[in-house]
Structure 1
Amino acid sequence: MRMITQHTFGGPEVLTVVDAPVPSPQPTEVLVRVSAIGLNPLEPRLRAGEHPLLGQPPFVLGWDISGVVETAHTWRFRPGDAVFGMPLFPRMAGGYAEFVAAPALHLVHKPASLSHVEAAALPIVGLTAWQGLVDIGGVTKGDRVLIHGGGGGVGHVAIQLAKSLGAHVITTARGDKREFAASLGADEVVGEDFAVGDVDLVLDTLGGKAAWRSLEVLRPGGHFVTAVADEDTELIAKVEAAGLRFSGIGVDPDPIALRGLVSLVEAGKLRVHVAETFPFARIADAHRRLERGGLRGKVVLTV
């Protein structure tokens, strides 16, 4: 099979397509013939050595996959089943490959209403939004929720999820992303100053100034949930000193949440937006596009 690996930290050019043995699934695992791979902003940082998650190269990036079961060592799936998920995160899953051996519990059946490209775009951003808003945040009908980065990967899914929970959704967005965020159902689309108040929960996908400014708009006892600033000790201390709650999202595989997202897709309450696709061999170009930013939704690699 073809696999994308790297033997050193560096720019997109260190990503190399190589021939490799097809992995052998263990008991309770399946072998997936991959059709599409979702890319995430974390991956260029790992490639460049800015984050120690996978240690030193060589390693293979990639977690968001959609494809067809080739071999099943489990009762949960059969060969020929279309599946998608986020196997093994944050451990190495070898997702940048034509075949991936994955725990069956980290995958779910792909609905017919989602293409493989759309399905591959959903797991990490969808699970981050779900775990932040549902599992950690406990958002319910009538809550005022502020979502940062409403035009991005996590943000655009979070808007739709929060609306499905009955929340009043406020989101920050810039430029042409403002119209995009509004089209997803946001009740208010605001800029970087976001002069709003009485917010019950903030879902932070940006960090920096947006995170700090959020503390000014949360109601007493409000909840600050972040996907990017969970190790900012100064920010955590400030949140707690203000009498607010702080939670960081360490997203993990969750088939129950994935099925919940699938239910929303099938009910017409959630759509995942794919900004651009790249063929497998153009992985370096795909990483360059990720690094330029300004994306509405996700970048996906097709196999």
Structure 2
Amino acid sequence: MRAAVMTAYNTPLVVHEVPAPTTGPGEVLVRVMASGVNPLDTKIRRGEAAHAKMAPPAILGIEMAGVVEAVGGQVDRFQVGDEVFGMTGGVGGVQGSLAELAAVDARLVAHKPAALSMAQSAAIPLGFITSWEGLVDRAGVHAGHQVLIHGGAGGVGYLAVQLAVARGAQVFATGSPRSQDVIRHIGATAVDYTASTVDEYVNQHTGGDGFDVVVDNVGGATLDASFTAVKRYTGHVVSALGWGSHSLAPLSFRGATYSGVFTLMPLLTGHGREHHGQIVAEAAVLAESGRLVPRMHSTTFTLDDVETAYATVESGSATGRVVVLPNG
């Protein structure tokens, strides 16, 4: 099969023929129709993501959508011809989705939503799983909550807003001036972080009480700001980028709580993979009802121009999620 291979860190991916994988027990062989490209993928390629544990030579690509071509032993949820999607590899030494075929752990995938294309489906798993683990598993978001999501027009934030809205929360999302309409379009109150301070938008939207749940998808100073924007006593901050050194004093003085989200853990450890499959199944339900649609970049790419896809993500010029079509 053809695949894009990372032969060394910080060098272009090389597209060539490699042996096709075979299915083992508990696996399905998937013809990859679409592979999502995330900022994390580009960091792995540059050798800046040691936590992902992916060393060259390797096939990258964390999320995918495709068609089942073979079913291994001990798999009863899928059959040949099923369309599936999920967050299936590209870290922890597991083959990723920048290839024509991938043997994936069947626990990690769910049936693809018919309402979405292959490209759209491949743009969902990582961001939605991250959002679900933060909003649902950690913070228990529900109707009546006021939720603040930082980076509401970003790859994760855009899905997080839709998830929180679907669960009945009143949602606010920060973004740049040019992203305000995008945020409003998916049902959130847009907050221009360049035009108001944390204290100003907390006062404006919560009467100074703070938000019940604050989701940080940016890290750094934005996580620090989250600690001062959360509600006293019952508020909860969640972050997928809490990797720096931060003072917990602002959070402690509000009597609030914090949770970190590390979405890669089931792929790295093998534990909790069933839950990831369950989460993407929940994404499919929301997508089928029209309540979950990813924001897509205007151009799709193939294996032959995978470097352009990576450069688009790295440059920050993407207008939505970037997807590669390995069989395109």
* TM-score, normalised with respect to structure 2: 0.87
Structure 1: tracts of 5 or more residues without a match: none
Structure 2 CA distance for aligned equivalents of residues 295 and 146 of structure 1: 24
Partner of 2:88: 87
Residues 133-142 or 50-59, more deviating? 50-59
Structure 1 CA distance for aligned equivalents of residues 12 and 317 of structure 2: 24
Q: Deviations over 1:23-82 (max 9, x none)?
A: 011011010001000111111111111111225322221121111001011222111111
**Aligned positions of 1:23-38 closer than 5 A:** 23-38=21-36
Q: Percent identity among equivalent residues?
A: 36
**Aligned positions of 1:176-215 closer than 5 A:** 176-192=178-194, 193-194=197-198, 195-197=200-202, 198-215=210-227
Query: Does residue 228 of the first structure (1) align with residue 241 of the second (2)?
Result: yes
2:285 pairs, out of 250, 256, 263, with 263
2:129 pairs, out of 127, 130, 134, with 127
Distance 1:188 1:139, change over 3 A: same
Distance 1:241 1:117, change over 3 A: same
User: Structure 1 residue 175: deviation in Å?
Assistant: 3.3
Distance 1:240 1:7, change over 3 A: farther
Q: Which amino acid aligns with 1:281?
A: D
1:14 pairs, out of 12, 15, 32, with 12
Contact 2:175 2:190 in 1 (8 A): no
User: Structure 1 residue 127: deviation in Å?
Assistant: 0.8
Distance 1:182 1:239, change over 3 A: same
Contact 1:151 1:296 in 2 (8 A): no
1:288 pairs, out of 311, 317, 327, with 311
Q: Which amino acid aligns with 1:196?
A: Y
Contact 2:88 2:96 in 1 (8 A): no
User: Structure 1 residue 190: deviation in Å?
Assistant: 2.8
Structure 2 CA distance for aligned equivalents of residues 21 and 157 of structure 1: 35
SS at match of 1:134: helix
Cα RMSD over matched residues?
A: 1.7
Contact 2:212 2:236 in 1 (8 A): yes
Structure 2 CA distance for aligned equivalents of residues 104 and 301 of structure 1: 22
Structure 2: tracts of 5 or more residues without a match: 203-209, 267-272
Contact 1:156 1:297 in 2 (8 A): no
Alignment coverage as a number of residue pairs: 300
Distance 1:132 1:90, change over 3 A: farther
Contact 1:144 1:169 in 2 (8 A): yes
User: Structure 1 residue 172: deviation in Å?
Assistant: 0.7
Distance 1:235 1:115, change over 3 A: farther
1:246 pairs, out of 258, 269, 275, with 258
Structure 2 CA distance for aligned equivalents of residues 17 and 55 of structure 1: 18
Distance 1:226 1:3, change over 3 A: same
Q: Deviations over 1:264-290 (max 9, x none)?
A: 111111111211311221111111100
Q: Deviations over 1:76-95 (max 9, x none)?
A: 21111111111147423322
2:150 pairs, out of 142, 148, 151, with 148
* TM-score, normalised with respect to structure 1: 0.93
Contact 1:34 1:68 in 2 (8 A): yes
Query: Does residue 299 of the first structure (1) align with residue 299 of the second (2)?
Result: no
Structure 2 CA distance for aligned equivalents of residues 241 and 51 of structure 1: 33
Contact 1:151 1:295 in 2 (8 A): no
Q: Which amino acid aligns with 2:148?
A: L
Partner of 1:63: 62
User: Structure 1 residue 236: deviation in Å?
Assistant: 4.8
Residues 244-253 or 14-23, more deviating? 244-253
Contact 1:66 1:84 in 2 (8 A): yes
Structure 1 CA distance for aligned equivalents of residues 53 and 59 of structure 2: 9
Partner of 2:43: 45
Distance 1:161 1:283, change over 3 A: same
Contact 2:151 2:173 in 1 (8 A): yes
Q: Deviations over 1:210-242 (max 9, x none)?
A: 21112222111311100111x334345653465
Contact 1:4 1:17 in 2 (8 A): yes
User: Structure 1 residue 146: deviation in Å?
Assistant: 0.7
Structure 2 CA distance for aligned equivalents of residues 286 and 66 of structure 1: 17
Q: Deviations over 1:106-152 (max 9, x none)?
A: 11111211110011001001111111111111001111111011111
SS at match of 1:289: helix
Q: Which amino acid aligns with 1:34?
A: V
